């Protein structure tokens, strides 16, 4: 199964939506699932000596393997 979506923290006024995606594979007795989420909001982060780089404010990933017996 391929899935995608988005969510937003309505309690936080200055936060952009977060997009999500995942892939689940189901074989007879084994299920494999991977998923990720990334905010659309970016922020500047200091790198090196005096430089900065724009990166996502938040991101996450997960993976699971389930065996049914």
Task: Give the HSE-up count for residue 4: Cα atoms under 13 Å, Cβ half-sphere.
Answer: 2
Residue 24: pLDDT band with limits 50, 70, 90: very high
Residue 15 has pLDDT above 80, yes or no: no
Q: Give burial (CB, 10 Å; 0-12/13-18/19+) of 18.
A: buried
| Dist. CA 53–CA 47, nearest whole Å | 7
51 contact partners, CB below 8 Å, separation of at least 6: none
Q: Note if the pTM is more than 0.85.
A: no
């Amino acid at each position: 199964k391929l899935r995608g979506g988005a969510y937003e923290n309505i309690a936080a006024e200055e936060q952009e939506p977060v997009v999500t995606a995942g892939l689940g594979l189901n074989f007879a007795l084994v299920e494999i699932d991977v998923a990720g989420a990334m905010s659309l909001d970016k922020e500047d982060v200091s790198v090196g000596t005096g430089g900065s780089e724009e990166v996502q404010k938040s991101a996450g990933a997960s993976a699971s393997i389930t065996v049914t017996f």
